[in-house]
């Protein structure tokens, strides 16, 4: 038994076999997701360092560009972070001219968020390497396979 080694330094029972086959759980896929996302975010991270921003800024820039005119509340819902966490990065993006706040046209309590030209350009710059990576990954698939990937990712997401 290979647990001889374990007994050398302690009487605690250690487990020497991989977990892979337990309960029919797909550990491979769990892991694949981790690696894919780790590398997916590493591209923009490198770019962000230049501007002194982080991943949190990226998310804000992305969603404001996707949905110009969205409110702060919309953004909080999307990111699922607290007001204070958002406020910090949002303020920096507004102060440095990437995002612009406009008083709501109907409801003047709202602050509608819009990208500036600079903000649009940053969003594009960050999206390019991610898009390249996705295109490469999808290139191994036929159109049907690409739809399946979309279906899968939607199925992974909570519906609310």
Footprint of DNA on residues 47-76 (CB under 7 A)?
52-57, 59, 71-73
The site partner of 108 among a second copy, DNA, none (C-beta below 5 to 8 Å per kind) is DNA
Could you tell me which stretch among 46-54, 65-73, 83-91 binds a second copy (CB under 8 A)?
65-73
Cα 32–Cα 148–Cα 62 angle in degrees, nearest 5? 70
Using the rule CB under 8 A, is 45 a contact of a second copy? no
Interface with a second copy in residues 71-130 (CB under 8 A): 80, 97, 100-103, 105, 112, 114-117, 119-120, 123-124, 127-128, 130
Q: How many chain residues interact with DNA (CB under 7 A)?
A: 29
Binding residues for DNA restricted to 81-140, rule: CB under 7 A: 81-85, 87-91, 101, 104, 106-111
Rounded alpha-carbon distances, angstroms, from residue 61 to 29, 51, 122: 30, 13, 8
Q: Binding partner of residue 77 among DNA, a second copy, none, CB under 5 to 8 Å per kind? A: none
Q: Alpha-carbon distance 160 to 77, whole Å?
A: 10
CA 97/CA 118 separation, integer angstroms? 7
Rounded Cα distance, 116 and 148, in Å: 35
Four-CA torsion 23, 28, 34, 39, nearest 10 degrees: 180
Report the residue from 51, 59, 72, 86 that binds a second copy according to the rule CB under 8 A.
Answer: 59
User: Whose CA is closest to 93, among 73, 69, 64, 126?
Assistant: 64
Instruction: Report the interface residues with DNA, using CB under 7 A.
Output: 52-57, 59, 71-73, 80-85, 87-91, 101, 104, 106-111
């Amino acid at each position: 038994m290979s647990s001889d080694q374990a007994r050398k330094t302690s009487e605690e029972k250690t487990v020497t076999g991989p977990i892979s086959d337990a309960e029919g759980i797909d550990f491979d896929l769990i892991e694949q997701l981790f690696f894919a996302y780790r590398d997916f975010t590493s591209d923009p991270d490198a770019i962000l360092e230049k501007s002194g921003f982080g991943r949190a800024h990226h998310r804000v820039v992305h969603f404001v560009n996707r949905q110009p005119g969205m409110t702060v509340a919309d953004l909080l819902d999307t990111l699922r972070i607290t007001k204070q966490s958002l406020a910090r990065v949002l303020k920096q993006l507004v102060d440095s001219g990437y995002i612009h706040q406009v008083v709501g046209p109907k409801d003047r309590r709202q602050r509608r968020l819009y990208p500036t030209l600079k903000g649009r350009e940053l969003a594009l710059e960050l999206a390019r390497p991610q898009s390249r990576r996705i295109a490469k990954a999808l290139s191994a698939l036929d159109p049907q396979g690409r739809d399946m990937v979309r279906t899968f990712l939607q199925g992974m997401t909570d519906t609310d």
